[in-house]
């Protein structure tokens, strides 16, 4: 397919490479062209604007940072909806508000377009390996048409129902991660406080009932002192905030999520926004960055 792709970051860059490996023609746009140079060198076509990236495509994919960024690229005269070709399918893979996904869907429909919300899980490793979990909401016929596109980027592709349901599923994913990553950090901190070798602990428990993706991946990074971002703290804070807002709207109390949300805001306050989520260890151990 002829695909426009907007947002060439930690996740977007590898996703574009995997699309091209499967034979899709990909035209890209991101705010800072220099960051996209390796992807351009690999064969992606550069566009000078969102509008250019959206024109005459079979599908347009976005994966940007925040809801305000999603609004910026979709709406207005220079946005995707105003410039996409008839029958183009719009796929927002950003983790964002279900309400915003609904707005994109409705405005796209007025222009003869279909829109899917399709957030992902699996971090930079999943993006690089093409093994992302992809949670999709929207019209089933649009989903069916885009399955080959999703299969280029992920291995666990699940249709979740109507518009917004992809985002709600991702919120559930982030809620589950929040407690898990915090608990892994507490386990590492406990080992250190007790004079144990954290690596020995990891080797002992990682294949037992405590085993998880967070333990295997972020737990090892904590032990190694590697706090480089596979998924940014600032983006996790954004996601947890959306989940709390949606929970509050349903009079649902998510106490563990709120506690972890507060911990990450403490981490952000000491300069941790651009670190990986495993850096929560720093707050739990009460260390400076």
What is the mean pLDDT of the segment spanning 248-271? 97
Q: Is the pLDDT of residue 288 over 90?
A: no
pLDDT score of 209:
96
Q: Which entry of 170, 221, 238, 282 is annotated as an active-site residue? A: 170
Query: β-pairing, 120-121 with 132-137?
Result: antiparallel
Token pair of 77 as six digits: 């005269």
pLDDT tens-place string over residues 172-181: 999 999 999 9
Band (pLDDT 50/70/90 cuts) for residue 230 is confident
Residue 289 has pLDDT above 90, yes or no: no
Asked if residue 166 lies in contact with residue 119, where contact means CB atoms within 8 angstroms, the answer is yes
User: What pLDDT score was predicted for residue 153?
Assistant: 98
Domains (range + CATH), the chain: 2-161 (3.40.50.720), 168-284 (1.10.1040.10)
What is the pLDDT, as a whole number, of residue 258?
Answer: 98
d(C-alpha 60, C-alpha 42), whole Å: 19
Q: Give the pLDDT of residue 282.
A: 97
For the residues 244-265, what does the mean pLDDT come to?
Answer: 98
Distance CA 93, CA 62 (A): 6
Interatomic CA distance for residues 38 and 55, integer angstroms: 23
pLDDT of residue 60: 98
Residue range 12-35: mean pLDDT, rounded: 96
Distance in Å from the first CA to the final CA of the chain: 45
Cβ atoms within 10 Å, residue 23: 9
Task: Give the tens place of pLDDT for each residue, 129-173.
Answer: 999 999 999 999 999 999 999 999 999 999 999 999 999 999 999
Nearest-angstrom CA–CA distance, 5 and 46: 10
Biggest alpha carbon–alpha carbon distance for the chain: 64
What was the pLDDT predicted at 287? 86
Percent of the chain scoring above 90 in pLDDT: 96
> 125-143 burial, b if ≥16 CB within 10 A, otherwise e?
ebbbebebbbbbbbbeebb
The per-residue pLDDT of the chain, averaged, comes to: 96
The pTM assigned to this predicted structure is 0.94
Report the percent of the chain where pLDDT is more than 70.
Answer: 100
Query: For residues 164 and 98, is the Cβ–Cβ distance under 8 A?
Result: yes
Among the listed residues 224, 225, 206, the one whose alpha carbon sits nearest the alpha carbon of residue 215: 206
Please write the tens of the pLDDT for every residue from 84-137: 999 999 999 999 999 999 999 999 999 999 999 999 999 888 999 999 999 999
Is 170 assigned a catalytic role? Answer: yes
């Amino acid at each position: 397919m002829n695909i426009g792709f907007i947002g060439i970051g930690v996740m977007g860059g590898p996703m574009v490479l995997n699309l091209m490996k499967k034979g899709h023609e990909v035209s890209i746009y991101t705010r800072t062209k220099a960051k996209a140079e390796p992807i351009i060198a690999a064969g992606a076509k550069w566009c000078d604007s969102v509008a250019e990236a959206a024109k005459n495509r079979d599908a347009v994919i976005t994966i940007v940072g925040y809801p305000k960024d999603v609004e910026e690229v979709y709406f207005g005269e220079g946005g995707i909806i105003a410039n996409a070709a008839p029958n183009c399918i719009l796929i927002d893979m950003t983790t964002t508000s279900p309400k915003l996904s609904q707005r994109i869907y409705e405005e796209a429909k007025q222009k003869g377009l279909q829109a899917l919300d399709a957030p992902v899980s699996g971090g930079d490793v999943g993006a690089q390996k093409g093994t992302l979990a992809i949670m999709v909401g929207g019209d089933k016929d649009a989903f069916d048409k885009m399955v080959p596109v999703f299969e280029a980027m992920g291995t666990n592709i699940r249709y979740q129902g109507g518009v917004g349901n992809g985002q709600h599923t991702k919120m559930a994913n982030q809620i589950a991660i929040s407690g898990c990553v915090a608990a892994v950090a507490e386990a590492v901190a406990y080992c250190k406080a007790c004079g144990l070798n954290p690596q020995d602990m990891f080797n002992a428990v990682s294949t037992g009932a405590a085993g998880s993706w967070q333990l295997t991946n972020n737990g090892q990074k904590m032990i190694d002192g590697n706090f480089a971002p596979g998924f940014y703290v600032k983006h996790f804070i954004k996601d947890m905030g959306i989940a709390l807002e949606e929970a509050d709207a349903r009079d649902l109390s998510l106490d563990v999520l709120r506690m972890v949300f507060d911990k990450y805001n403490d981490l952000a306050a000491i300069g941790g926004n651009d670190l990986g989520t495993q850096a929560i260890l720093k707050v739990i151990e009460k260390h400076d960055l």
